[in-house]
Amino acid sequence: MKNWKFIILLFFITSCGTQTAENKKKQDDNNTTLRISVDESFRPVLAEEIKVFEAAYPTTKVIVEYKPEADCLRDLEKDSTKVVIVSRELNREETRYYDNKIGFKPEFGQLAKDAIAVVVNNENPDSSFSVGQLVELLSGKSNSSLKVAIDGNTATSTVRYLKDSLLRGGAFGKNITGAKNSEDLINYIATTPSAVGFVGVSWMTNPQSSQQEQAIAKVKMALIECKNCEAGTFARPSQQTITFRQYPLVRGLYYVLKENYPGLGSRFVDFLSTERGQLIFRRALLVPTRINFSRRRII
């Protein structure tokens, strides 16, 4: 009888020890692992940000999922992540929803200004467009023989921007081809001389692989009719044309943080807002909005 009591006691102690170890590991993971969802069109520049962040905080591991913008926001709603990087801020209905659900409103803000590049094959003679021509191409009303491609088949940020800002809520034409993602779109344009595509500008400035670099060498960013310029002026996305909104396809890069305490999510957002994080955006041809890096003449 005493032996049975001893065995039960030993089993209880061992179980408690295992449970404590498992809880400790889970707690340690929560303190050192950050899960985030990032709009796929920002992948090149955010991959660089994460690499430098992990180097600055060696005990922290960022597990990132790159996906369409709508899926990122769904992850935030399902509590799969505390941080998402998307191309818009939360609207009033969304902030009210979170305030009712979790008792506080998520923090959000713009980290940089981004642009959507219009890309064509190097062999394509049509490399300059007015905004009106882009609208006709996207709506299927153009007489052009160009094949039009966008960076996804679902609700990507590029798709939303083109519908909202260019088509004013209108529908895409039947001539539109949806690539699997941004990299697939660039590969498509590189192998299709008669195609034109729309992709986040950082995909053109931050190649993620030698294969992608080879594809980028076969495409070029088209010239788009300039805003706030003299008539007949065309521009490509650059820090100057984005800053002064001369390039017409400008959008923001935003963070949304669902964390009301100083956790890993807050640390990552703070890093993106520091000089080091903002310089990475600048090197990727985006325009940092947290720190002003403009050059000033010294007398």
In this model, does residue 247 exceed pLDDT 50? yes
In the chain, ranges of CATH 3.40.190.10 domains: 31-112+251-288, 114-249
CATH class, range 114-249: alpha beta
pLDDT greater than 60 at residue 7? no
What CATH number has the domain spanning 31-112+251-288? 3.40.190.10
- Please list, residue by residue across 138-159, b when 16 or more beta carbons sit within 10 angstroms of its beta carbon and e when fewer do: bbeebeeebbbbbbbeeebbbb
Q: Identify the helix (H) or strand (E) that includes residue 122.
A: none
Characterize the bridge pairing of strands 234-235 and 61-67: unpaired
Other Cβ atoms within 10 Å of 55 Cβ, number: 8
Q: Is the pLDDT of residue 128 over 80?
A: yes
* Mean pLDDT within 273-284: 95
Q: How high does pLDDT run on average in the chain? A: 87
Give yes or no for a contact between 236 and 141, defined as CB atoms under 8 angstroms apart: no
The most confident of 11-15, 62-66, 144-148, by mean pLDDT: 62-66
pLDDT at 4: 54
pLDDT per residue over 174-197, tens digit each?
889 989 999 999 999 999 999 999
pTM comes to: 0.85
* Average pLDDT for 146-166: 89
In the predicted model, is pLDDT for residue 5 greater than 70?
no
Q: What are phi and psi of 55, to 5 degrees?
A: -70, -35
The whole-number pLDDT of residue 197 equals 96
CB 189 within 8 A of CB 204: no
Q: Tell me, what's the pLDDT at 231?
A: 87
**Residue 205 pLDDT:** 84
Residue 86: is its pLDDT beyond 60?
yes
Categorize the per-residue pLDDT at 19 as very low, low, confident or very high, splitting at 50, 70 and 90.
very low
Q: Give me the helices (H) in the chain, please.
A: 2-32, 43-56, 69-78, 92-102, 131-139, 157-161, 182-191, 202-205, 210-216, 239-243, 264-273, 275-283
